[in-house]
Amino acid sequence: MRKLYSALKIICLVALGITLICLVAVIAYVLIKGTGKLSFDLLFGDYKSSPSILPAFVGMLELVAIASLIAVPIGVASAIFLVEYTNNKGKLVRIIQVATETLAGIPSIVYGLFGYLIFVVAFGWGYSIIGGGITLAIMILPTIVRSTQESLLSVQGGLREGSYALGASKVRTIFKIVLPSASGGIVTAIILAIGRVVSESAVLILTIGMVVNKVPQNLLSPGTSLALDIYYFASNGYRDEAAATSVVLLVFVIFLNLLASGIGKLIKKSTGEEK
Protein backbone atom coordinates (compact mmCIF):
# COMPACT_ATOMS: atom_id res chain seq x y z
CA MET A 1 0.00 0.00 0.00
CA ARG A 2 2.86 2.38 0.82
CA LYS A 3 4.44 1.66 -2.56
CA LEU A 4 1.13 2.51 -4.23
CA TYR A 5 0.90 5.82 -2.34
CA SER A 6 4.50 6.60 -3.23
CA ALA A 7 3.84 5.84 -6.90
CA LEU A 8 0.74 8.06 -6.89
CA LYS A 9 2.71 10.86 -5.23
CA ILE A 10 5.41 10.60 -7.88
CA ILE A 11 2.80 10.65 -10.66
CA CYS A 12 1.19 13.74 -9.15
CA LEU A 13 4.55 15.50 -8.87
CA VAL A 14 5.39 14.65 -12.47
CA ALA A 15 2.00 15.93 -13.63
CA LEU A 16 2.55 19.13 -11.64
CA GLY A 17 5.99 19.56 -13.17
CA ILE A 18 4.66 19.09 -16.70
CA THR A 19 1.90 21.63 -16.04
CA LEU A 20 4.35 24.20 -14.71
CA ILE A 21 6.73 23.64 -17.62
CA CYS A 22 3.91 24.13 -20.15
CA LEU A 23 2.70 27.28 -18.37
CA VAL A 24 6.17 28.80 -18.14
CA ALA A 25 6.91 27.85 -21.76
CA VAL A 26 3.77 29.59 -23.07
CA ILE A 27 4.37 32.74 -21.00
CA ALA A 28 8.05 32.86 -21.92
CA TYR A 29 7.32 32.36 -25.63
CA VAL A 30 4.73 35.16 -25.66
CA LEU A 31 7.00 37.55 -23.77
CA ILE A 32 10.09 36.78 -25.88
CA LYS A 33 8.25 37.09 -29.17
CA GLY A 34 6.14 40.10 -28.32
CA THR A 35 7.90 42.32 -25.80
CA GLY A 36 10.37 43.67 -28.33
CA LYS A 37 7.53 44.49 -30.73
CA LEU A 38 5.69 46.78 -28.31
CA SER A 39 5.69 50.42 -29.32
CA PHE A 40 3.94 53.65 -28.45
CA ASP A 41 2.23 53.71 -31.85
CA LEU A 42 0.79 50.24 -31.31
CA LEU A 43 -0.52 51.12 -27.86
CA PHE A 44 -1.69 54.69 -28.32
CA GLY A 45 -1.09 55.56 -31.97
CA ASP A 46 -3.45 56.78 -34.66
CA TYR A 47 -5.56 53.66 -35.10
CA LYS A 48 -7.16 55.05 -38.28
CA SER A 49 -3.94 55.00 -40.29
CA SER A 50 -1.78 52.32 -38.60
CA PRO A 51 -2.32 49.20 -36.46
CA SER A 52 -3.17 50.13 -32.87
CA ILE A 53 -4.80 48.27 -29.99
CA LEU A 54 -6.35 51.35 -28.37
CA PRO A 55 -9.85 50.59 -29.76
CA ALA A 56 -9.50 46.97 -28.61
CA PHE A 57 -8.47 47.97 -25.10
CA VAL A 58 -11.40 50.37 -24.77
CA GLY A 59 -13.80 47.77 -26.13
CA MET A 60 -12.41 45.10 -23.81
CA LEU A 61 -12.92 47.27 -20.73
CA GLU A 62 -16.50 48.03 -21.77
CA LEU A 63 -17.26 44.35 -22.38
CA VAL A 64 -15.81 43.32 -19.01
CA ALA A 65 -17.80 46.05 -17.24
CA ILE A 66 -21.10 45.12 -18.93
CA ALA A 67 -20.71 41.38 -18.45
CA SER A 68 -19.63 41.75 -14.80
CA LEU A 69 -22.36 44.23 -13.85
CA ILE A 70 -25.00 41.87 -15.22
CA ALA A 71 -23.67 38.41 -14.40
CA VAL A 72 -22.09 38.90 -10.96
CA PRO A 73 -25.16 40.22 -9.05
CA ILE A 74 -27.53 37.78 -10.75
CA GLY A 75 -25.18 34.81 -10.34
CA VAL A 76 -24.37 35.46 -6.68
CA ALA A 77 -28.02 36.16 -5.81
CA SER A 78 -29.13 32.96 -7.56
CA ALA A 79 -26.56 30.90 -5.68
CA ILE A 80 -27.63 32.45 -2.36
CA PHE A 81 -31.26 31.55 -3.06
CA LEU A 82 -30.42 27.97 -4.03
CA VAL A 83 -28.16 27.31 -1.04
CA GLU A 84 -29.64 29.39 1.76
CA TYR A 85 -33.37 29.33 0.97
CA THR A 86 -33.91 25.97 -0.74
CA ASN A 87 -31.04 24.04 0.92
CA ASN A 88 -30.21 22.58 -2.51
CA LYS A 89 -33.26 20.32 -2.26
CA GLY A 90 -36.33 19.92 -4.41
CA LYS A 91 -37.11 19.07 -8.03
CA LEU A 92 -36.85 22.69 -9.18
CA VAL A 93 -33.38 23.04 -7.65
CA ARG A 94 -32.19 19.85 -9.34
CA ILE A 95 -33.50 21.09 -12.69
CA ILE A 96 -31.71 24.41 -12.20
CA GLN A 97 -28.47 22.66 -11.27
CA VAL A 98 -28.61 20.36 -14.30
CA ALA A 99 -29.36 23.32 -16.55
CA THR A 100 -26.50 25.31 -15.02
CA GLU A 101 -23.98 22.51 -15.49
CA THR A 102 -25.20 21.91 -19.04
CA LEU A 103 -24.96 25.58 -20.00
CA ALA A 104 -21.47 25.80 -18.49
CA GLY A 105 -20.28 23.12 -20.92
CA ILE A 106 -21.80 24.55 -24.10
CA PRO A 107 -19.22 25.77 -26.66
CA SER A 108 -18.90 29.53 -26.84
CA ILE A 109 -19.83 29.59 -30.53
CA VAL A 110 -23.35 28.50 -29.54
CA TYR A 111 -23.65 31.53 -27.27
CA GLY A 112 -22.34 33.61 -30.14
CA LEU A 113 -25.05 32.33 -32.48
CA PHE A 114 -27.66 33.01 -29.80
CA GLY A 115 -26.39 36.57 -29.33
CA TYR A 116 -26.31 37.11 -33.08
CA LEU A 117 -29.87 35.89 -33.63
CA ILE A 118 -31.33 37.75 -30.63
CA PHE A 119 -29.40 41.01 -30.26
CA VAL A 120 -28.05 41.57 -33.76
CA VAL A 121 -31.03 40.31 -35.81
CA ALA A 122 -34.18 40.15 -33.67
CA PHE A 123 -33.57 43.32 -31.60
CA GLY A 124 -32.07 45.11 -34.56
CA TRP A 125 -29.05 46.41 -32.62
CA GLY A 126 -26.59 45.26 -35.26
CA TYR A 127 -23.02 44.57 -34.19
CA SER A 128 -22.74 46.37 -30.85
CA ILE A 129 -20.80 46.43 -27.61
CA ILE A 130 -23.99 46.06 -25.53
CA GLY A 131 -25.05 42.94 -27.47
CA GLY A 132 -21.64 41.36 -26.99
CA GLY A 133 -21.55 42.28 -23.31
CA ILE A 134 -24.98 40.77 -22.59
CA THR A 135 -24.08 37.61 -24.50
CA LEU A 136 -20.87 37.27 -22.49
CA ALA A 137 -22.86 37.80 -19.28
CA ILE A 138 -25.17 34.93 -20.24
CA MET A 139 -22.15 32.76 -21.05
CA ILE A 140 -20.35 33.28 -17.72
CA LEU A 141 -23.49 33.20 -15.57
CA PRO A 142 -23.51 29.39 -15.07
CA THR A 143 -19.84 29.46 -13.97
CA ILE A 144 -20.52 32.14 -11.37
CA VAL A 145 -23.65 30.40 -10.04
CA ARG A 146 -22.00 26.99 -9.70
CA SER A 147 -18.75 28.27 -8.18
CA THR A 148 -20.60 30.53 -5.73
CA GLN A 149 -22.80 27.60 -4.69
CA GLU A 150 -19.73 25.53 -3.83
CA SER A 151 -18.26 28.42 -1.85
CA LEU A 152 -21.45 28.90 0.16
CA LEU A 153 -21.74 25.17 0.84
CA SER A 154 -18.18 25.15 2.19
CA VAL A 155 -19.15 27.54 5.01
CA GLN A 156 -19.56 25.61 8.25
CA GLY A 157 -23.13 25.14 9.40
CA GLY A 158 -22.10 25.99 12.95
CA LEU A 159 -21.51 29.61 11.94
CA ARG A 160 -25.08 29.92 10.74
CA GLU A 161 -26.47 28.19 13.83
CA GLY A 162 -24.41 30.41 16.13
CA SER A 163 -25.70 33.52 14.38
CA TYR A 164 -29.31 32.34 14.65
CA ALA A 165 -28.78 31.49 18.33
CA LEU A 166 -27.69 35.08 18.96
CA GLY A 167 -30.92 36.35 17.45
CA ALA A 168 -29.70 37.39 14.01
CA SER A 169 -32.14 37.18 11.13
CA LYS A 170 -31.51 35.00 8.08
CA VAL A 171 -30.71 37.98 5.88
CA ARG A 172 -28.27 39.41 8.43
CA THR A 173 -26.65 36.00 8.82
CA ILE A 174 -26.18 35.69 5.08
CA PHE A 175 -24.62 39.13 4.62
CA LYS A 176 -22.63 39.31 7.86
CA ILE A 177 -21.51 35.70 8.33
CA VAL A 178 -21.95 33.52 5.24
CA LEU A 179 -20.89 35.86 2.42
CA PRO A 180 -17.71 37.12 4.15
CA SER A 181 -16.72 33.55 4.93
CA ALA A 182 -17.27 32.50 1.31
CA SER A 183 -15.73 35.65 -0.18
CA GLY A 184 -12.54 33.90 -1.28
CA GLY A 185 -14.38 31.36 -3.42
CA ILE A 186 -16.75 33.98 -4.81
CA VAL A 187 -13.86 36.23 -5.84
CA THR A 188 -12.19 33.23 -7.50
CA ALA A 189 -15.39 32.56 -9.45
CA ILE A 190 -15.45 36.15 -10.63
CA ILE A 191 -11.77 35.91 -11.65
CA LEU A 192 -12.48 32.83 -13.77
CA ALA A 193 -15.49 34.52 -15.33
CA ILE A 194 -13.62 37.73 -16.19
CA GLY A 195 -10.73 35.68 -17.57
CA ARG A 196 -13.13 33.93 -19.92
CA VAL A 197 -14.57 37.27 -21.02
CA VAL A 198 -11.11 38.68 -21.75
CA SER A 199 -10.00 35.66 -23.77
CA GLU A 200 -13.24 35.13 -25.70
CA SER A 201 -13.32 35.62 -29.46
CA ALA A 202 -15.98 33.39 -31.07
CA VAL A 203 -18.84 35.13 -29.27
CA LEU A 204 -17.54 38.59 -30.11
CA ILE A 205 -17.03 37.99 -33.82
CA LEU A 206 -20.76 37.27 -34.10
CA THR A 207 -21.99 40.05 -31.80
CA ILE A 208 -19.68 43.07 -31.91
CA GLY A 209 -18.02 42.54 -35.29
CA MET A 210 -14.31 43.20 -35.68
CA VAL A 211 -13.88 46.95 -36.23
CA VAL A 212 -10.20 47.44 -35.40
CA ASN A 213 -9.79 51.08 -36.46
CA LYS A 214 -12.60 52.75 -34.55
CA VAL A 215 -13.13 53.38 -30.82
CA PRO A 216 -16.73 52.59 -29.81
CA GLN A 217 -18.67 55.85 -29.50
CA ASN A 218 -21.46 54.32 -27.42
CA LEU A 219 -22.78 50.95 -26.35
CA LEU A 220 -24.61 50.45 -29.66
CA SER A 221 -21.40 50.89 -31.67
CA PRO A 222 -19.46 47.92 -33.08
CA GLY A 223 -15.97 47.32 -31.77
CA THR A 224 -13.22 44.84 -31.13
CA SER A 225 -11.26 43.28 -28.28
CA LEU A 226 -7.68 42.25 -27.61
CA ALA A 227 -8.41 38.63 -28.54
CA LEU A 228 -10.04 39.71 -31.79
CA ASP A 229 -7.13 42.02 -32.57
CA ILE A 230 -4.69 39.10 -32.22
CA TYR A 231 -6.79 37.12 -34.70
CA TYR A 232 -7.06 40.09 -37.08
CA PHE A 233 -3.36 40.95 -37.00
CA ALA A 234 -2.27 37.32 -37.45
CA SER A 235 -4.71 36.82 -40.35
CA ASN A 236 -3.64 39.94 -42.22
CA GLY A 237 0.12 39.64 -42.07
CA TYR A 238 0.78 41.80 -38.97
CA ARG A 239 2.67 39.11 -37.07
CA ASP A 240 4.70 41.52 -34.95
CA GLU A 241 1.55 43.39 -33.92
CA ALA A 242 -0.17 40.08 -33.09
CA ALA A 243 2.75 39.04 -30.86
CA ALA A 244 2.81 42.42 -29.10
CA THR A 245 -0.96 42.32 -28.55
CA SER A 246 -0.57 38.87 -27.00
CA VAL A 247 1.82 40.37 -24.44
CA VAL A 248 -0.68 43.13 -23.60
CA LEU A 249 -3.47 40.55 -23.19
CA LEU A 250 -1.27 38.39 -20.96
CA VAL A 251 -0.32 41.36 -18.77
CA PHE A 252 -3.97 42.41 -18.58
CA VAL A 253 -5.05 38.96 -17.40
CA ILE A 254 -2.27 38.83 -14.79
CA PHE A 255 -3.27 42.28 -13.55
CA LEU A 256 -6.90 41.23 -13.17
CA ASN A 257 -5.88 38.13 -11.22
CA LEU A 258 -3.62 40.11 -8.88
CA LEU A 259 -6.29 42.76 -8.37
CA ALA A 260 -8.95 40.18 -7.56
CA SER A 261 -6.60 38.30 -5.23
CA GLY A 262 -5.79 41.53 -3.41
CA ILE A 263 -9.47 42.35 -3.01
CA GLY A 264 -10.12 38.85 -1.69
CA LYS A 265 -7.36 39.20 0.91
CA LEU A 266 -8.70 42.59 2.00
CA ILE A 267 -12.16 41.10 2.43
CA LYS A 268 -10.80 38.22 4.51
CA LYS A 269 -8.72 40.60 6.61
CA SER A 270 -11.66 42.90 7.25
CA THR A 271 -13.81 39.96 8.39
CA GLY A 272 -11.08 38.66 10.71
CA GLU A 273 -10.43 35.43 8.81
CA GLU A 274 -6.86 36.33 8.02
CA LYS A 275 -4.70 37.66 10.80
As a whole number of Å, the CA-based R_g of the chain is 22
Calpha distance 159→170 (Å, rounded): 12
pTM of the model: 0.85
Domain 41-270, CATH: 1.10.3720.10
What does the DSSP 8-state code read for residue 213? T
Q: What angle do CA 89, 176, 163 make, to 5 degrees?
A: 70
Positive or negative: CA dihedral 202, 203, 204, 205: positive
- Give pLDDT tens digits along the chain (275 positions): 777 888 888 999 999 999 999 989 988 888 888 888 888 888 877 777 778 888 888 888 899 999 999 999 999 999 998 888 887 677 778 888 888 888 888 888 999 999 999 999 999 999 999 999 999 999 999 989 988 988 888 888 888 888 888 888 888 888 888 888 888 788 878 887 888 888 888 899 999 988 888 888 888 999 888 889 888 888 888 888 888 898 988 888 888 777 777 776 776 676 655 54
Domain map (residue ranges) of the chain: 1-37, 41-270
